[in-house]
A and B are shown apart, each in its own frame.
Chain A
């Protein structure tokens, strides 16, 4: 008989019937229709598929879905509240920190994890924190600026 996997997805209880093992990335995309999480390399190298599990950025292409039992999963779709962009999303918009936009959800969620751990990162800490997320369009400079702005907002009293 199938196991019923229970977890929290973007703030709401979710279930997934497990007849065999699947990859979290594909379950999010094809079963839950959460297509903001992107496939980029399939080997956990590029960061396009990054989601937060219990607030920690992970590469969903490398996560067996059974690992998320009882955990909180946040995808890019769950970050904005009632259509209002999250402060990191606002900062990405403000700085034009995207071009084709394909790596953007992964960038934003990785930045979330970075700021959650370290709300006042230095330039070097931002570079280090984002190092393993790839962007082909070359929006790196703007991504750094966006994260700096988001950090300023946190300093000003806003919450992640």
Chain B
């Protein structure tokens, strides 16, 4: 049962870097001028094992082209563009001369992975600093070549000019020619001030768009190697099934079939994916599957039963005093089901072994983790595994787990041929590390005049992110019961993991619904109520702005309502306002309009950031209204898109995105924040439209009808 070892890996198991020698990385790169840099950031250093060496570098090649090597990957979030922009700005080169080399474990220095809206936040600043350092080095070299003092030189579009005589100039290419300079970034050269930036902050379209619209972009499954076999693996009907007996004889006579049996890995492989698919269905396998009473309805009771003791993550004042000072006490329990990542590209990997070296293309958010996992599985030294870059067809946290890559590598080793493992949609749903289901219990209190007094908050089996409230409660406690997404899945019947803004969707749904209920009890509008109970200046600014932008809300048509919700994620402050229409006959909810205001510090690529907000809002409609894993024990019933409903074109609301001008602040996360408020903003709008208060996600038509019936 060796395989299970890999299933249990979590972030803590990532090995430290060390494949690159600190000083001689330039030998991998050929000639030119290179600057290596280290990614820091207090959050990163505190939470995870920090890299002990550099983890990014840039190279000015002898042609004058610039390459940036990073272990980060592009999965649709747009860092391939925004990181290139930042670098181009500091170096004073045009964007099209910058090439991003991403996620190649032989060429790029170690990186923990692409998640947590961290690429721009933590990778961006040192990347810019390295760019500034490279530019300073170029100026220094040019000063000698041109015989002009450094202060008299300026850079523009890859050329260094003498400011007294612009005919006296030298290009980066000319300077880099014949050089072999490797520097480690030492933070001495200042980066440009925000107003000197010409590329960052302007609206630039994605640099990968052409390849993606023409079909040229290569994803892991698009790697087609000569003699490659497509593998289909025998899967159990349930996560807790035990294989009793297997009969492979029905497939033995298929021409060209290869059969692999090793420990728990039983697979059939063929040059044709069609034949492999048919063959796996012909295998006769008997399983023993225990009965389990836990399903999507009883799970909440189960989780409350098995949840560990709470850990207090924030507290102040005294809860008893808070109760005494409150005129109104409200106690509610919020429920949230399991949600799948469901990226359009299922987990896929192509692997080949050449001269005892495994080469793997994988749809992954964590290429260096894949490298370690594959090396472990094959019993190869780490340097004999190379993960090569591929575009990733959506991740949302789900592609931090890479069983498919280990499967492909094992099968490549066992068959001696290149192998592709492309999970079917059913496999993708079955083996996904879901956003955990969970419960939030809140007891809160306020005075008659609407002043908040008491906040007693417990979140069960979800996780801590977003659990800490930011309102002005004199008496409050926040308890987190169990690590939720980030821990072992012992509380949950199957694997759970990071899902776009992990834990924050559930926590923000509960908090912002409860705040709304209190505002209603106090008879005060939701915006005014929040503003009168906040001290955080950033949040106040974000809320005031959304109030102005959303416009008039009191003349809504019949059955329409509006809602408000706000939150903090990945350093970004976000508020959403939404207008919905509730069909009281069918229970269907239509989200007509969503306005999002974000303070995300310096917005590096406003177009990309807007796209991320629109993505968050559209994707967020799913967990808000329809997405819910149906299961019984370890059996998953929602196995494809016909039973698990993703947001569709007809669900599309009008969307408006607004950024708070904060050019002097460091950039914050942009890929996740706007999604955290979707549950609450729609729940609050449904209440405003119909009087029905929904306390469980998703808010399906049945649940809306149920809540409406409670009113009569």
User: B214 near A76 (CB under 8 angstroms)?
Assistant: yes
| Known contacts A35-B224, A98-B213; A140/B76 CB under 8 A | no
A62 in the interface, Cβ–Cβ < 8 Å?
no
User: A46 near B205 (CB under 8 angstroms)?
Assistant: no
User: B218 near A40 (CB under 8 angstroms)?
Assistant: no
| Known contacts A137-B619, A138-B614; A100/B343 CB under 8 A | yes
User: A30 near B224 (CB under 8 angstroms)?
Assistant: yes
Which of B25-33, B377-385, B392-400, B503-511 is the contact stretch? B392-400
Q: Which residues of A contact B78 (CB under 8 A)?
A: 99
User: A127 near B76 (CB under 8 angstroms)?
Assistant: no
- Number of residue pairs across A and B with beta carbons under 8 Å? 180
Q: Which residues of A contact B396 (CB under 8 A)?
A: 136
A134 in the interface, Cβ–Cβ < 8 Å?
yes
User: A79 near B394 (CB under 8 angstroms)?
Assistant: no
| Known contacts A30-B224, A85-B214, A96-B209; A138/B647 CB under 8 A | yes
**Least CB distance, A103 to chain B, in whole angstroms:** 5
B77 in the interface, Cβ–Cβ < 8 Å?
yes
Closest to B345 in A: A102
Interface residues of B in 229-256 (CB under 8 A from A): 230
Q: Which residues of B contact A101 (CB under 8 A)?
A: 76, 208, 211-213, 217, 391, 393
**Pick the contact of A89 from B214, B221, B273 — CB < 8 Å?**
B214
A63 in the interface, Cβ–Cβ < 8 Å?
no
B449 in the interface, Cβ–Cβ < 8 Å?
no
User: A98 near B394 (CB under 8 angstroms)?
Assistant: no
User: A100 near B391 (CB under 8 angstroms)?
Assistant: yes
**Pick the contact of B213 from A23, A37, A108, A127 — CB < 8 Å?**
A108
Which of B83-91, B119-127, B649-657 is the contact stretch? B649-657
B611 in the interface, Cβ–Cβ < 8 Å?
yes
User: B619 near A138 (CB under 8 angstroms)?
Assistant: yes
**Pick the contact of B273 from A26, A85, A93, A133 — CB < 8 Å?**
A26
Interface residues of B in 196-231 (CB under 8 A from A): 205-206, 208-219, 221-222, 224, 230
Closest to B395 in A: A100
Q: Which residues of B contact A41 (CB under 8 A)?
A: 425, 640-641
Interface residue total, chain B, C-beta cutoff 8 A: 59
User: B214 near A45 (CB under 8 angstroms)?
Assistant: no
Q: Which residues of A contact B424 (CB under 8 A)?
A: 42
**Pick the contact of A102 from B393, B619, B646, B652 — CB < 8 Å?**
B393
Q: Which residues of B contact A40 (CB under 8 A)?
A: 344-346, 425
Interface residues of A in 62-116 (CB under 8 A from B): 75-77, 79-80, 85, 89, 92-94, 96, 98-105, 108
User: A138 near B422 (CB under 8 angstroms)?
Assistant: no
Q: Which residues of B contact A136 (CB under 8 A)?
A: 342-344, 394, 396, 619, 646
- Which of A26, A38, A41, A80 is packed against the most chain B CB atoms within 10 Å? A41
Docked Cα-Cα span, A137 to B395, in Å, equals: 9
Q: Which residues of B contact A139 (CB under 8 A)?
A: 611, 614-615, 618
Q: Which residues of A contact B393 (CB under 8 A)?
A: 38, 100-102
**Least CB distance, B280 to chain A, in whole angstroms:** 13
| Known contacts A99-B615, A138-B618; A37/B215 CB under 8 A | yes
Q: Which residues of A contact B395 (CB under 8 A)?
A: 100
Q: Which residues of A contact B205 (CB under 8 A)?
A: 93-94, 96
Q: Which residues of A contact B43 (CB under 8 A)?
A: none
| Known contacts A89-B214, A139-B614; A22/B206 CB under 8 A | no
Docked Cα-Cα span, A89 to B213, in Å, equals: 6
Q: Which residues of B contact A151 (CB under 8 A)?
A: none
Q: Which residues of A contact B544 (CB under 8 A)?
A: none
A52 in the interface, Cβ–Cβ < 8 Å?
no
Interface residues of B in 614-654 (CB under 8 A from A): 614-619, 640-642, 646-650, 652
**Least CB distance, A68 to chain B, in whole angstroms:** 15
**Least CB distance, B439 to chain A, in whole angstroms:** 27
- Which of A37, A43, A126, A135 is packed against the most chain B CB atoms within 10 Å? A135
A144 in the interface, Cβ–Cβ < 8 Å?
yes
**Least CB distance, B419 to chain A, in whole angstroms:** 13
Interface residue total, chain A, C-beta cutoff 8 A: 58
Interface residues of A in 116-145 (CB under 8 A from B): 126-128, 130-144
| Known contacts A33-B224, A34-B215, A39-B422; A45/B640 CB under 8 A | yes
**Least CB distance, B133 to chain A, in whole angstroms:** 32
Main secondary structure of the interface of B (DSSP, over half): loop
User: B215 near A100 (CB under 8 angstroms)?
Assistant: no
User: A85 near B649 (CB under 8 angstroms)?
Assistant: no
Docked Cα-Cα span, A29 to B78, in Å, equals: 26
A48 in the interface, Cβ–Cβ < 8 Å?
yes
A36 in the interface, Cβ–Cβ < 8 Å?
yes
Q: Provide the B288-300 mask, 1 if CB < 8 A to any CB of A, else 0.
A: 0000000000000
**Pick the contact of A140 from B210, B224, B343, B652 — CB < 8 Å?**
B652
User: A22 near B391 (CB under 8 angstroms)?
Assistant: no
Q: Which residues of A contact B616 (CB under 8 A)?
A: 138
User: B210 near A135 (CB under 8 angstroms)?
Assistant: no
Q: Which residues of A contact B106 (CB under 8 A)?
A: none
| Known contacts A101-B208, A141-B618, A141-B655; A75/B641 CB under 8 A | no
User: A137 near B209 (CB under 8 angstroms)?
Assistant: no
Closest to B612 in A: A99
Q: Which residues of B contact A34 (CB under 8 A)?
A: 215
Closest to A45 in B: B641
Docked Cα-Cα span, A62 to B105, in Å, equals: 37
Docked Cα-Cα span, A23 to B271, in Å, equals: 14
Closest to A90 in B: B213
Q: Which residues of A contact B210 (CB under 8 A)?
A: 85, 93
Q: Which residues of B contact A127 (CB under 8 A)?
A: 649-650, 652
Docked Cα-Cα span, A47 to B273, in Å, equals: 19
Q: Which residues of B contact A80 (CB under 8 A)?
A: 214
Docked Cα-Cα span, A92 to B213, in Å, equals: 7
Q: Which residues of A contact B346 (CB under 8 A)?
A: 39-40
Q: Which residues of A contact B425 (CB under 8 A)?
A: 40-43, 46
7 extra A-B contacts, CB within 8 A, seeds A98-B213, A99-B78, A131-B650: A29-B221, A35-B218, A38-B345, A75-B215, A77-B216, A143-B649, A144-B652
Show 24 A/B contacts (Cβ-Cβ < 8 Å), sorted by A.
A23-B273, A30-B272, A35-B219, A38-B345, A38-B393, A39-B221, A40-B345, A43-B641, A43-B642, A85-B214, A96-B607, A100-B345, A100-B392, A100-B393, A102-B343, A102-B393, A108-B213, A127-B649, A127-B652, A136-B394, A138-B617, A140-B649, A141-B618, A141-B655
Contact surface of A with B, Cβ cutoff 8 Å: 21-23, 26, 29-30, 33-43, 45-46, 48, 75-77, 79-80, 85, 89, 92-94, 96, 98-105, 108, 126-128, 130-144
9 residue pairs, one from A and one from B, having the closest CB atoms:
A36-B215, A100-B76, A138-B618, A102-B393, A101-B212, A99-B76, A138-B615, A35-B222, A76-B215
